[in-house]
Amino acid sequence: MARIRIDLPERYLLTVELPVRITDLNYGAHLGNDALLALLHEARVQLLRHLGQPEFDPATGLGHIMADVAIEYKGEGFYGDTLRIQVGAADLGKYGFDVVYWVHNQDGREIARAKTGMLCFDYNTRKLRLLPDAYAARLRGETA
């Protein structure tokens, strides 16, 4: 069976700490895959806000759309854990980029690696839009 492998970036743009809530557990009494994806979504929204680029701006209709997601599970998360999610960007292209996540618990144990492919999207026209140069520079960690 082919396995997913997430390459980690050299630089992270933000670290987000989020608790594992009781509602995040599955029947195995550990962090469920659906809950982890929701926590990654929160970390991504915080990253984009940190960069001054909302995931979706209702005033303009401009935002992002997720093209794909991949998660490489490394360990279990449990109720009461605080997840430390380091977030960075990779594979910047004409229309978008990958958000890469490295997830550890409060003891430093690796929980997961993940990536979401994000495309710049105009919800008014329902079409992709170009990744602005200034935004790409912030995603690379360059100061403007």
Whether pLDDT at 77 is above 80: yes
Average pLDDT, the chain: 97
What is the structure's pLDDT at 35?
98
pTM reported for the whole predicted model: 0.95
State the average pLDDT over residues 66-87. 98
Beta carbons of 96 and 118 less than 8 angstroms apart: yes
What is the structure's pLDDT at 131?
98
What is the structure's pLDDT at 41?
98
Locate 2 and state its tokens. 């082919």
What is the structure's pLDDT at 144?
53
pLDDT in tens, 4-45: 999 999 999 999 999 999 999 999 999 999 999 999 999 999
Q: Which amino acid is at 108?
A: G
107 vs 133: CA distance, rounded Å: 38
What is the structure's pLDDT at 115?
98
Rounded percentage of the chain residues whose pLDDT exceeds 90: 97
